[in-house]
Every structure is written in structure tokens, then in C-alpha cells.
Chains A and B, each alone.
Chain A
Amino acid sequence: MIETSEQAAKLILERLQKDFLRKSRTIYQMLVVRDHFSQTFNFFLEIKPKNQREKSIPLHTIENYDLAYLESVIRNLQKKTQITMQFKGFHELVWPESQNRISKG
């Protein structure tokens, strides 16, 4: 599936809105995983109500395994949402453009 970073971001936001209900005493986070097995970037919405089990809802899988592309998807997302993003599986990698460590968020 070839999609532009805008399309990817739009789809992720749409799916995010459905379950991002902003309930009280609940932590909402977006999890972005670099999956080196399937060579994809996986997006999840993590919902953690206090003292209850966490729910992790898949939002999207990006097949384009390119950090520059991911950076632009993330930038598009950040224009529209302030949700905390957590990055996993990126180890010491840095964003191609901003040169910041990815795992620092």
C-alpha cells in the first residue's frame, strides 16, 4: 500500500479519535513501534485507566520502513494532536531531519 505521509496521518487520527475518549483518571498514549521482524512501523493507542488493565488498540501499520517517511508522518500527527507519543524498538536511532534521538520522543 503506497500512501502519502498525510494520508497515513489522517487515517491514524481518524482511528485515534474513535477511542480517545479523554476519560478521567486514565492515561492515553500513542505507541509507535519499530518492528524489525516485519520491517514496519506499528501504531497503537494505549489506554491505561488507573488500577485497571491496559487496553492497546492497533491504529495502523506503516509498510514504508523509512525513518524520513516516519518522521513526516509523526510531524503531521503532531500538528493535529497533543497526545503523548512513546517510541519503542528504535534504540539509538536518530530522526534524519531533526537529528534528535527518536526514543526520547
Chain B
Amino acid sequence: MNYDREPHGLFFMIDNKSFYASVESVTRDEDPLKSVLVVMSEEDNTNGGLILAASPRAKEIFGITNVSRCRDLPQDDRITAVPPRMNLYIKKNLAINKIFLQFVADEDCYPYSIDESILDMSKSWRLFGRTPLEVAKRIQTAVHDKLGLWTTVGIGENPVQAKLALDLIAKHDDDRMGALTYETFPEKIWPITDLQSVWSIGRRTAVHLERVGIHSMDDLAHSNPYQLKAEFGIIGTQLLALAWGIDRSQLSNLIKPSDKSWGNSQVLARDYVVQREIETVIKEIGNQVASRMRHHHQQAGCVSLMIGFSYVSAETSGKSGFAHSMRIEVTESSDQINQYLIYLFRKTWDGEGIRNIAVSLSHLSSNEGLQLNLFMNPHTQIKHDLMTRVLDKVHDQFGTTALVPASSLLHGATMLGRASLVGGHNGGNSFD
């Protein structure tokens, strides 16, 4: 394989070792590598508790994986369980990225998730050391000195190599570092037979690969490109590139999605069967999504509602739920959007118990003033519009719970309880 024409840069993929658990350990003056701590979300809808993160020692001793259920965790007095504080983790993530900016220019630092960032070190690494490993070590030390957290660094000549180096090598390395190059790629990656452990290969793809006789990365690298494409479509060619460590993406060219949409979803704390209760929650989500959309000065031309049935209803009806969309006259009004949502709901719902609700708005267009409807009283329309704007303003200034519809106080409503959550988990004490 001739790699001469492939991009040769230097990329670091850096993640935080057991991020949430490490942050919690540090705030308790404990060494994140030695503490036995789990972060447990005990929201109503987590069914007795969900483990969001476990410290390395806790994983080692009790074999916990992230997102285990709390019931899988033994009652052992060596374990400390703590509630999540999402706002704190966001704060720490920002602090970490700020440290990274001492090593790269702003435009070369790409936060990838709450605990992962990609750094394009191609231009700046020589300023900080003689070898990439030395620079990686320096970044690790800088983060640890400043925040007490340990980072893991994957190094590659392109982003995908850095990501694979992180997942497959650095995470098992005593120094928490791993490097891949075009040259070392075959030796280090091809022997892998657990295809799912490789980034971008999911369970179904792995099964599919096995079915067509591909049992290792070596097999994948040496399969016939045309057959791969015929079997997997465009993904087939991507898989082949992955097996050879090729990644031509230019991180600086951000991808602009052609049709954006706004959406929110919720897992309910119990099975909802009463129509009024379900509709209350649908409207609450509708309000939330519509308000987010208005913040971006947009209006929607399509509403979608997804309903997921409860376990029992799914068993008896043989369906897991339903999802419907409808084109609507372009609007930004919560009330109108909610009317469409309720219509979609009533049209299909047949008394099943409900556990999931998702609402989304799409076919967005920028909102340039109010389009009056000829068949309605213009004064009422203008009044409605003003009212919406005042409501949004109040919410901006005093928070979403400052002014709520009375229906949010009814039994079954979830909005008030969820207002302080971040990403569905406890945000932490508000007055910290």
C-alpha cells in the first residue's frame, strides 16, 4: 500500500480516564486511580439507579461497566456511591480544553464529547518536545497538575488512527498513551478479532462481517473492495479505509447538515396510561422544543411525534410504539404545534401504556415576522405573538420554571421535576 498521497499530520485524541468518577474523587481529595467510587443516577426514570461511571479500581474489583444497572452493583462497604453533578463535569471539561489550548491554536482543538477532544498537533507539536510521546506526556502532566485528573492519549497521523490508538492501545497502557502510524497499523490493528471493539463497527455490522467470512481486521483489510461495496454499500468502502488506517477527513471543514431539526425526548418514570397525563407531557415537550426553535429565530414546517410503548403493551400489541410526522403550515407557535402533536397522538393511540415520548420539529425556515392568517382576527393573532415573546423573555431572564402552565402542576407532569436536569441527570446543587 502506498500511503504517500494520504494526509500525514499529527493528531492526539485525548480522553479522561473515568471522567465523572475521577472528578468526584478529586473533589473528595481522593486519588482517582485508587478510589472505589461509582457515580449513580437515581432519577425517577432510571428504574432504581443507573451507573453513569465507575472509577478504574471499582471497575477492576467489581467488574462494573459504565451504564450498568444499580442492581448489578454489590452491597459492599468498600464502594462509595455518589449522585451525578453534570454541571460540574461540564465546567471541568471546559477547564481541560482550556489547558489544551496552551498546546494548540483554538481552531485545532475539537471537543468530541464531554470527556474527549481531538487536537490537531501537526503545526505546533515541535514547540513542546522532541517526540510526539514526549508532548503527550507533557499534556497529561499539565492536566494532572492543574486539575488532578488523568488523561489517556491516542496518537495518530490522522484522526481515525488517533481514535483507534486511544481505544485499543492507550487504554491498556500503563502510561496511558498509544500511537499508531500508517507503518505500524498492520502489525497492531490487523490481529484484532473482536471487531466490535473497533470504533465505528457496531454489533450489527460485526455480525454482518462475520457472516460474510470476515473475522479479523486482517481479513477486512484484504477483502475485495468491490464485494465489500456490493455487500455493505458505501459503508463497505469506509470499512476498508478503516482497516488500512486511512482517514481523509479535514476537521476544519465542518459538515453542515442539510436539514436541521430540533427535538427532545423523555423516558417516563412509570407507564402512563391516562390520556390526559400523556397529553400533558406531550405538550410540555412541545413547548420546550418550540421554545428552543424560537431562540434560533426559526419556524417549523413539519412536526413529528414518536411514542414508545411500555414493556407490557409492547408484548401484547407486538409493536414497540409508533412515530408519525405531518407537514404543517409554517409556524413558531407552541400552541399550534401542540395542537398538531395532540392530533397525531389521538389519531393512532389506542390505550396502550406509554414509556417514551419524543417530539421533533423540522423543515425549518428563518422567521421573518408574523404571517397573518386572512381568516382569523388579526388582533388576536398579534396578541398571541406578543404573548409568546413575553413568555420567552420571562423564561430567559428568570428560568424555565418562573412561569409555567397550570397543567404542569397536574399529576403526571414532568417538566418541573426535570427542569434542573442536565442531559437527563442531576445537574448538581444549583447554588454551588
What are the interface flags for B66-109 relative to A under an 8 Å C-beta threshold, 1 for contact and 0 otherwise? 00000001111111111101000000000000000000000000
How far apart sit A89 and B76, CA to CA, in the bound complex (Å)?
26
> In chain A, residues 46-94, which have Cβ atoms closer than 8 Å to a Cβ of chain B?
48, 50-61, 88-89
Cβ of B432 < 8 Å from any Cβ of A? yes
How far apart sit A11 and B429, CA to CA, in the bound complex (Å)?
11
Contact partner of B75 among A42, A51, A56, CB < 8 A? A51
> In chain B, residues 416-432, which have Cβ atoms closer than 8 Å to a Cβ of chain A?
428-429, 431-432
Contacts of B83 in A (CB 8 A): 57-58
User: Count the A residues whose beta carbon is within 8 Å of the partner chain — how many?
Assistant: 26
- Kindly list the 6 A-B residue pairs having the minimum CB-CB distance in the complex, ordered from nearest: A53-B79, A89-B29, A88-B29, A52-B75, A37-B148, A54-B80
Interface on B for A, CB 8 Å cutoff?
Answer: 26-29, 73-83, 85, 146-148, 428-429, 431-432
Cβ of A24 < 8 Å from any Cβ of B? no
- Number of A-B residue pairs at CB separation under 8 A: 66
Other than A35-B26, A53-B76, give 5 A-B pairs with Cβ distance below 8 A: A33-B29, A35-B27, A37-B147, A56-B80, A57-B82
Cβ of A28 < 8 Å from any Cβ of B? no
How far apart sit A31 and B27, CA to CA, in the bound complex (Å)?
11
How far apart sit A35 and B334, CA to CA, in the bound complex (Å)?
45
Interchain CB contact under 8 A, A53 and B73: yes
How far apart sit A59 and B429, CA to CA, in the bound complex (Å)?
8
Knowing A34-B29, A35-B29, say if A53 contacts B85 (CB, 8 Å). no
Interchain CB contact under 8 A, A53 and B81: yes
Q: List 17 A-B contacts (CB under 8 A).
A: A34-B29, A35-B26, A35-B29, A37-B146, A37-B148, A38-B147, A48-B77, A52-B76, A53-B80, A55-B81, A56-B28, A56-B80, A56-B82, A58-B83, A58-B85, A61-B27, A88-B29
